[in-house]
C-alpha cells in the first residue's frame, strides 16, 4: 500500500477460498472449467475506513505430494 500518499493501513482482512473458475479465469490460466482455483481477496482499510488497497488473486489449485514420513 502506498503510505507516501497519506494512507496509513489500519486494518487488513483476507479471504481464501477454493472455487470453480470463471470463464475468463479459465482462459487466462489455460485450464479447464472444472479445475478449481484458489481465490485470495485482500482488503486494506485506513483509519477513515477507506479502502486504498483491494487485491484479488486467482491461482490454479494443484495437488502437492510430499513423501510420507513415519515416527519411530
Summarize pLDDT for 22-71 with one digit per residue, the tens. Answer: 999 999 989 999 999 999 999 888 888 888 788 888 888 766 544 444 44
What pLDDT is attached to residue 5? 60
pLDDT at residue number 57: 86
Q: What is the dihedral of CA 4, 7, 8, 11, to 10 degrees?
A: -140
Euclidean distance between CA atoms 6 and 21, whole angstroms: 36
CA distance 25 to 15: 18
Q: Rounded to two decimals, what is the model's pTM?
A: 0.60
Amino acid at each position: 500500500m502506498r503510505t507516501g500518499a497519506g494512507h496509513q493501513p489500519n486494518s487488513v482482512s483476507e479471504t481464501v477460498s477454493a472455487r470453480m473458475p470463471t470463464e475468463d479465469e479459465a482462459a487466462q490460466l489455460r485450464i479447464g472449467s472444472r479445475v478449481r482455483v484458489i481465490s485470495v481477496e485482500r482488503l486494506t482499510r485506513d483509519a477513515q475506513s477507506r479502502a486504498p488497497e483491494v487485491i484479488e488473486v486467482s491461482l490454479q489449485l494443484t495437488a502437492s505430494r510430499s513423501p510420507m514420513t513415519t515416527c519411530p
